[in-house]
Amino acid sequence: MLSQLRRIVQDVAQEPVLNNALAGLVSNVKNALKTECCSVYLADYEQQHFMLMATDGLNPEAVGQVAIGFSEGLIGWVGQREEPINLAQAHLHPRFKVTPEVSEDRFSAFLGCPIIHHRKVLGVLTIQQGESRVFSEDEESFLVTLGVQLASVLVNAEMRQAASQNSKQQKNTGQLQGLPGAPGIAIGEGFVLEPSSDFDAISLKKVDDPEKELSRFYKAVKITKAEFNRLAERMAGHLPPDALAIFDVYHQLLDAASLGNEIEKQIHEGWCAKSALKRVVEKFARQFDDMDDPYLRERGTDIRDLGQRVLNHLLDTEQRHHKLPEKVVLVADNVTATMLAEIPRAQLVAIVSLKGSVNSHAAIMARALGIPAVMGLDELPLFHWQSQRLIVDGYRGQILVAPAEPILAEYQALISEDAQLSARYQSEMHLNAQSACGVPFSLMVNAGLAIELESAQPSYTDGIGLYRTEFPFIMRNRFPTEAEQIELYKKVLASHPTKAVVMRTLDVGGDKALPYFSIIEENPFLGWRGIRLTLDHPEIFLVQIRAMLKANIGQGNLHILLPMISDLAEVDESLRLIKQATFELTDELAGTEVQLPKAKVGVMIEVPSIMYQLPELARKIDFCSVGTNDLTQYLLAVDRNNPRVAGLYDAMHPAVLRALHQMSLQAQGLQLPMSICGELAGEPAGVLILAAMGYDKFSMNSSNLAKIKWLLRRVHLSELQLLLPEILACQSPKQVRLQVQRFLDQKQLLNQLRA
Ligand code: PEP
Ligand code: MG
CATH no. for 2-168: 3.30.450.40
pLDDT tens digits along 568-598: 999 999 999 999 999 999 999 999 999 999 9
Tell me which CATH homologous superfamily contains domain 438-752.
Phosphoenolpyruvate-binding domains (3.20.20.60)
Handedness of CA 385, 386, 390, 394 (dihedral sign): positive
Ligand 1, atom 1, lies closest to the CA of 627
pLDDT tens digits along 474-491: 877 789 999 999 999 999
Distance separating alpha carbons of residues 750 and 741, to the nearest angstrom: 7
Does 438-752 match 173-407 at the fold level? Answer: no
| Three-state DSSP state, 355 | coil
Atom of ligand 1 nearest to the CA of 679: 3
Ligand 1, atom 10, lies closest to the CA of 630
Ligand 1, atom 4, lies closest to the CA of 627
Contacts of 559 (CB under 8 A, 6+ apart): 500, 501, 502, 503, 599, 600, 601, 602, 622, 623
b/e per residue 663-683 (b: at least 16 CB within 10 A): bbebbeeeebbbbbbbbbbbb
Distance separating alpha carbons of residues 222 and 273, to the nearest angstrom: 14
Query: Which of 90-104, 149-163, 165-179, 728-742 has the lowest average pLDDT?
Result: 165-179
- If pLDDT is split at 50, 70 and 90, which confidence band does 194 have? confident
Atom of ligand 1 nearest to the CA of 625: 5
pLDDT of residue 456: 56
pLDDT of residue 170: 46
φ/ψ of 445, rounded to 5, equals: -110, 150
pLDDT of residue 313: 82
pLDDT of residue 197: 63
Atom of ligand 1 nearest to the CA of 470: 9
Does 301 or 52 have the greater pLDDT score? 52
Are the C-beta atoms of residues 131 and 108 closer than 8 Å to each other? yes
Q: Is the pLDDT of residue 258 over 70?
A: yes
Contacts of 494 (CB under 8 A, 6+ apart): 555
Tell me how far the alpha carbon of residue 173 lies from the centroid of ligand 1, in angstroms: 37
Distance separating alpha carbons of residues 336 and 643, to the nearest angstrom: 17
Indicate the length of the chain as a whole number.
755
φ/ψ of 157, rounded to 5, equals: -55, -40
Does 231 or 113 have the greater pLDDT score? 113
- Surface-to-core class of residue 159, CB atoms within 10 Å of its CB (0-12 exposed, 13-18 middle, 19+ buried): buried
Tell me how far the alpha carbon of residue 362 lies from the centroid of ligand 2, in angstroms: 13
Q: Is the pLDDT of residue 235 over 70?
A: no
- If pLDDT is split at 50, 70 and 90, which confidence band does 520 have? confident
Tell me how far the alpha carbon of residue 394 lies from the centroid of ligand 1, in angstroms: 20
Q: Ligand 1: list residues with CB < 6 Å.
A: 364, 466, 468, 507, 606, 627-630, 677-678
Amino acid at 81: R
Atom of ligand 1 nearest to the CA of 446: 5
Is the whole-model pTM more than 0.95?
A: no
Tell me how far the alpha carbon of residue 563 lies from the centroid of ligand 2, in angstroms: 7
pLDDT of residue 323: 81
pLDDT tens digits along 652-691: 999 999 999 999 999 999 999 999 999 999 999 999 999 9
Are the C-beta atoms of residues 644 and 118 closer than 8 Å to each other? yes
CATH of 173-407, one of 1.10.230.10, 3.30.2270.10, 3.90.550.10, 1.10.274.10: 1.10.274.10
Q: How far is CA 152 from CA 352, 362, 726, in A?
A: 18, 22, 40
pLDDT of residue 166: 41
pLDDT of residue 448: 86
| pLDDT, average across residues 310-330 | 81
Tell me what percent of the residues of the chain surpass a pLDDT of 70: 92
Going by C-alpha positions, the residue among 30, 683, 618 that lies closest to residue 363 is: 683
Task: Give the active site residue among 49, 117, 313, 361.
Answer: 361
Write down the mean pLDDT value for the chain.
89
pLDDT tens digits along 411-440: 999 999 999 999 999 999 999 999 999 999
* 677 annotated active-site: yes
Domain boundaries of the chain, sorted by first residue: 2-168, 173-407, 438-752
* 361 annotated active-site: yes
SS3 percent helix, strand, coil of the chain, rounded to 5, is: 50, 15, 35
Q: Is the pLDDT of residue 287 over 90?
A: no
Q: Is the pLDDT of residue 734 over 90?
A: yes
Distance separating alpha carbons of residues 325 and 327, to the nearest angstrom: 5
Tell me how far the alpha carbon of residue 629 lies from the centroid of ligand 2, in angstroms: 6
